[in-house]
Structure 1
């Protein structure tokens, strides 16, 4: 029987009936509630607010399910919020399985599925914008906020606070394993909602933790853990690079038996390791070592998680991102350090950070105990090892020159470790902020917007000093809205009680989706669709409204500076002048002047976009113009540790290009480019696009039969995209010929005598054209046959003769197998 079938028929069912129905359903599944779960659910069915601050693994998700069940019995809408889209999506499918697809919807900004459902999964920002738009009139009766410690995040904390301020009629369930002192929230929620607020904390951890501090080298520590049954071990690092380096260094340890390695190989099966990082990961996982961090392709992370769930990985080297919603079952958490670089400085871990990671140790239902281990700093371990060799001779010990920590090192000790174990997570600090979008949302809702803003600005969780700053900022924004003619103040309230109103129509849910999409539409109208570069310029407009992929832009900048320095040295420019000129080098930003100018003009009439900044950049366009595959692009910019970041950006760009650009502005060239991009993303890792498309038709049974890697459709099944892949592969050869890169040409086409072919061509022509016309479809001739295509890429010579070309064959079966255009070049020939 499903959970929906257990719903009492009466909407006004008493708390005992609701509680008993939910407990009975769990009993049917063989589950007995922990005392803390029972206590929490009693408070929820009684209509009280709940702050659930129990350890990781103590069953908060079950309490959340009970809360949604309670809301359904009372016919009120319930919202579940989480900090990241991946968690929201995961919870959406979980709740579909519990309550049926007709009862569950999702809103993330990227996707909206069944938004009128009684249960909604969304990011905190979505709920905050609904609360600002509708206020106390919002159709929400209950809110479950998971990972509530994000309330203290500097950039995003406002979104966790606004619903508490603006939804006084709602029952709140706030959940996290690391909340610290919550007395302020307990009092505040009771005052605002008129409901009692219960705090459930200090629950006994289902799997107790044992802590130890180690003075042995890491590989010795791990060997001991493997021998004493403490695996799987998650080795925590604070950079992606160090996680990968550590994993490779551990290859000397014999992790698995022959039978275990055979089991790993069997589970991996025909999984495709298609990138340089993937090939390195393949060697590691077959040895029993996993790597896990946010820069990996999603399919690689899923593979590591699945192998770990099967108990086949003994050690996983990863980053501290494990703390939020990652499904990796582990017995031991091993900290390699208790300090980290936070983007500004190196500092020791805060208690909340420590407990968030340490709490992942020990799996309820699998382990009876979990282990949390901390390594001493490397120089301390070396000193201890050297002193142990010296022995007890006081004279020799005094004469030993102790190894010092590296410069700038922020150290830790066993005392640091013990203090973190005992320390309560720090109290959550308010991160309220005022934006254009906030004012517009409040002004646009019925009622007195001045009273509503006064409440929002003076009754938030900030101290008086910061409240005064927010009030000044709000006044400044309001005056700019008035001056821009976007808002008009009314002499008398209108029929809906408004004392001010907007003079422009906001699109539905304007703050819930891509914030600058309306600017992009306006900018696209400025482009000439007849221009040969229109498709690339349209891509540049769309890329300018996407979030900056920091790692990619940094890599582009490093590449540009390296090339600039090499050229300046070749030109004989002195060092001081080189340094001055180097400061002017930037990563590629096509249409920067035009886009920034258009943005300033657009912002005057649409001030809400002032909360966001247009950011010209070139990743999709750069890859397309260089005619590179995903693997070539990652290698060119040395982004192997950030493959996942590259792919997520490309997937976001594909989705935005697909749904933001109106059909009448999509030329043939632009459609070709969009199809190429979608197929490129799908062939590298289909999960990002598949999940997006699957949301329209959710299948709650998918988890049971989901494969580690869903094989993408054959690349040749999309003829339009495949033609572009072939065209790009051929044009890549043209670019290398233009640059006379004989070594790279030999790697791509080893059967061709490139020095002789290039000499023959350049005897007749001075250069090779690489402009828009040179890469167009008109210069690519294709003879399509069943198993292969014969192609000739005509070289755009300066005389316009078109008498030279690259001849090649496209192997269709191999292309489907590898997910790219597999081309065998036969020569650079003159007709």
Structure 2
């Protein structure tokens, strides 16, 4: 008998997942992007909404958390849905609580009572366990969850889903089922775009490039040195995004055009608009004017807003994390209505926004990962490519990658576009916060048992993980234990000191913040100096970030001296940016607005919001960690300074 839910006939993987949930099992679901995995999460909410237990839904990024909050609030009522993303807390006692995975990890790590009666935790995009920087968060979330909690792990296609499920079953001692599907309701067609060949298959492109190399007229460049002339290189024409869009329009739009550069997204949208390929749309002009009517003048004057407004009139837009929330919201609204023909976006759109298109284009198949430029792996490629093809609308989802001939590698491209073959691997690492919480909540024997529970240990030793301790983790734990004892976070009795207890609730820069705020260190600092400290700790100095004016004064000099006199804070390299962050903090105390701040830096508006959001997050952590009645009041005062300058930004 065919199973139906919400009036839809379920696919086999959805039906099997629901049957496992009805048995009270945890479930690991591995299926392509856009295949309908969220429907399984909906089922859990529907079947538990009238029961006393709660449900937690976690997402890897705030954008996805925010979208799920909107979607679930619409489906289940605002009174039943809560949101926690660090800087935003809405209805925290709701039946269904949506949060970033880091927030959930922090709650279970510290033994937060609000997670004790959680019946299901839904981990969306659980393949993020592969993330080098953040993957450990998903592992710790599973390890430290209450024994009665069940999990729904939703993932893009992963070849070792069964191994991941067996690990959860081994450490949590309950049944975990693996449900996999490679089937896409809307199949993908992978193509490539070359300046001369146009949109072609990989095999045709290989032949074209091979033939082109033998054509003498192929844009040869000569340079002369001295008396003689020598051919140095052959210049290959780069593919052009406007020419590609011309080939796609009108049959293969809407198009999501992905670039890994925010600046590139913005400039490409402007270039396409300037080309006048699409006519202006009277409906869009009227709609945009009405939407922006209540916006502050400063927002409407921003270069990014002006470019966006002009482009939107022709059904063109760009979307990235550097935009103001209200601008992103307008773009998402129009895209969901089908009014945008081409949207240039960074990869966060592929993860954070569930809005597919007929065609997905890649500006490049290489990205900067924070350290180096590298090729995309299969998981990254299919995460983005999976946004091609709208269920119930398109018969095929088109994926087109722009190719620069000198970098063409047939075998790499064939492997990349054939199948997602990237397994998930443990990225488990012991943080200072983890060690402090282990010491605070467990004895030595329990700590050793927990250290064996990592996915890393299971991947090394399989079902024998309990008998064989991972020497790497044991060594790391002992090393951090000695360091924390030396720094006064652990006492002679091997229990946490006041400073150690304070830092169990600090989840980044634990030693520095513990040193500064668990005792008297902060008490002779002004609010300005405290905010400088927090700003320096969260500031991510990019090479091209510029500040027009730096504010050096006696308060800064005193703060520098005080930090240098302390053996712990003197070692903090992040404080080297204290001078720079005065450009962002000093004006706050002169009643300058967010838009005044923007005139003093080339940081994008969204990056500036994120920066202050991170400062507010640190303030919140310190406030919760403190047992000192004075410190929360100081944090409230610092928070008020920031919020005053952001009042035109937040709440929109």
**TM class by smaller structure:** 0.7 to 0.9
- Listed as ranges, the matches of 1:360-509 within 5 Å are 360-377=387-404, 380=405, 405=406, 411-413=407-409, 415-445=411-441, 448-462=442-456, 467-483=470-486, 486-487=489-490, 501-504=495-498, 506=501
**Is the contact made by 1:651 and 1:678 (CA closer than 8 Å) also made in structure 2?**
no
- CA distance, structure 2, for counterparts of residue 159 and residue 589 of structure 1: 36
Aligned residues: 577
Taking structure 1 as reference, are residues 267 and 32 closer, same or farther at Cα in structure 2, changes over 3 Å only? farther
- Listed as ranges, the matches of 1:1-20 within 5 Å are none
**Is the contact made by 2:506 and 2:622 (CA closer than 8 Å) also made in structure 1?**
no
**CA deviation after TM superposition for structure 1 residue 488, in Å:** 5.2
Q: Deviations over 1:494-527 (max 9, x none)?
A: xxxxxx6434383697246996766358544113
* Residue from 100, 104, 107 that aligns with 1:123: 100
Q: Deviations over 1:384-413 (max 9, x none)?
A: xxxxxxxxxxxxxxxxxxxxx4xxxxx234
Residue equivalent to 1:716 = none
- CA distance, structure 1, for counterparts of residue 65 and residue 56 of structure 2: 11
- Structure number with bigger Rg: 1
Residue equivalent to 1:556 = 546
* Residue from 261, 270, 284 that aligns with 2:311: 284
- CA distance, structure 2, for counterparts of residue 666 and residue 42 of structure 1: 48
- CA distance, structure 2, for counterparts of residue 32 and residue 233 of structure 1: 28
**CA deviation after TM superposition for structure 1 residue 79, in Å:** 2.4
**Is the contact made by 2:363 and 2:401 (CA closer than 8 Å) also made in structure 1?**
yes
**CA deviation after TM superposition for structure 1 residue 64, in Å:** 1.0
- CA distance, structure 2, for counterparts of residue 169 and residue 613 of structure 1: 44
**Is the contact made by 1:436 and 1:611 (CA closer than 8 Å) also made in structure 2?**
no
**Is the contact made by 1:45 and 1:67 (CA closer than 8 Å) also made in structure 2?**
no
- CA distance, structure 1, for counterparts of residue 100 and residue 574 of structure 2: 19
Residue 284 (structure 2) pairs with residue 263 (structure 1): yes
**CA deviation after TM superposition for structure 1 residue 556, in Å:** 3.3
**CA deviation after TM superposition for structure 1 residue 119, in Å:** 3.4
- CA distance, structure 2, for counterparts of residue 64 and residue 667 of structure 1: 40
Q: Deviations over 1:740-797 (max 9, x none)?
A: xxxxxxxxxxxxxxxxxxxxxxxxxxxxxxxxxxxxxxxxxxxxxxxxxxxxxxxxxx
Residue equivalent to 2:584 = 620
- Listed as ranges, the matches of 1:688-727 within 5 Å are 689-690=650-651, 710=652
**CA deviation after TM superposition for structure 1 residue 100, in Å:** 4.7
Residue 585 (structure 2) pairs with residue 593 (structure 1): no
- CA distance, structure 2, for counterparts of residue 651 and residue 663 of structure 1: 24
**Is the contact made by 2:362 and 2:401 (CA closer than 8 Å) also made in structure 1?**
yes
Residue equivalent to 1:223 = 246
- CA distance, structure 1, for counterparts of residue 347 and residue 631 of structure 2: 44
Residue 36 (structure 2) pairs with residue 36 (structure 1): no
* Residue from 505, 510, 525 that aligns with 1:510: 505
**CA deviation after TM superposition for structure 1 residue 291, in Å:** 1.1
- Listed as ranges, the matches of 1:158-177 within 5 Å are 158-167=136-145, 168-177=147-156
**CA deviation after TM superposition for structure 1 residue 644, in Å:** 0.7
- CA distance, structure 2, for counterparts of residue 615 and residue 328 of structure 1: 39
Residue equivalent to 2:609 = 647
Taking structure 1 as reference, are residues 242 and 112 closer, same or farther at Cα in structure 2, changes over 3 Å only? closer
Taking structure 1 as reference, are residues 629 and 418 closer, same or farther at Cα in structure 2, changes over 3 Å only? same
**CA deviation after TM superposition for structure 1 residue 93, in Å:** 4.4
Q: Deviations over 1:150-193 (max 9, x none)?
A: 10111211110113334454322111224332232122223233
**CA deviation after TM superposition for structure 1 residue 376, in Å:** 2.1
**CA deviation after TM superposition for structure 1 residue 149, in Å:** 1.3
- CA distance, structure 1, for counterparts of residue 485 and residue 36 of structure 2: 51
Q: Deviations over 1:445-487 (max 9, x none)?
A: 2xx5212211122332225699323212211222344455644
Taking structure 1 as reference, are residues 487 and 352 closer, same or farther at Cα in structure 2, changes over 3 Å only? same
TM-score scaled to structure 2, two decimals? 0.77
Query: Please, which runs of 5 or more residues in structure 2 have no aligned partner?
Result: 199-239, 462-468
Taking structure 1 as reference, are residues 621 and 590 closer, same or farther at Cα in structure 2, changes over 3 Å only? farther
- CA distance, structure 1, for counterparts of residue 119 and residue 393 of structure 2: 37
Residue equivalent to 1:235 = 257
- CA distance, structure 1, for counterparts of residue 261 and residue 159 of structure 2: 27
* Residue from 18, 24, 47 that aligns with 1:47: 24
**Is the contact made by 1:152 and 1:429 (CA closer than 8 Å) also made in structure 2?**
yes
**Is the contact made by 1:109 and 1:514 (CA closer than 8 Å) also made in structure 2?**
no
Taking structure 1 as reference, are residues 296 and 525 closer, same or farther at Cα in structure 2, changes over 3 Å only? same
Q: Deviations over 1:304-331 (max 9, x none)?
A: 2222222222111222222211244422
Residue equivalent to 1:346 = 373
**Is the contact made by 1:149 and 1:176 (CA closer than 8 Å) also made in structure 2?**
yes
- CA distance, structure 2, for counterparts of residue 103 and residue 334 of structure 1: 38
Residue equivalent to 1:815 = none
Taking structure 1 as reference, are residues 311 and 294 closer, same or farther at Cα in structure 2, changes over 3 Å only? same
Q: Which has the higher contact order (CA 8 A, sep 6+)?
A: 2
Residue equivalent to 1:145 = 123
Q: Any idea what SS the aligned residue of 2:287 has?
A: helix
Q: Any idea what SS the aligned residue of 1:678 has?
A: helix
Taking structure 1 as reference, are residues 614 and 91 closer, same or farther at Cα in structure 2, changes over 3 Å only? farther
Q: Any idea what SS the aligned residue of 2:249 has?
A: helix
Cα RMSD of the aligned pairs, angstroms, is 4.1
Q: Any idea what SS the aligned residue of 1:141 has?
A: strand
- CA distance, structure 1, for counterparts of residue 420 and residue 335 of structure 2: 30
- CA distance, structure 2, for counterparts of residue 192 and residue 667 of structure 1: 42
**CA deviation after TM superposition for structure 1 residue 614, in Å:** 9.8
**Is the contact made by 2:258 and 2:362 (CA closer than 8 Å) also made in structure 1?**
yes
Q: Any idea what SS the aligned residue of 2:528 has?
A: helix
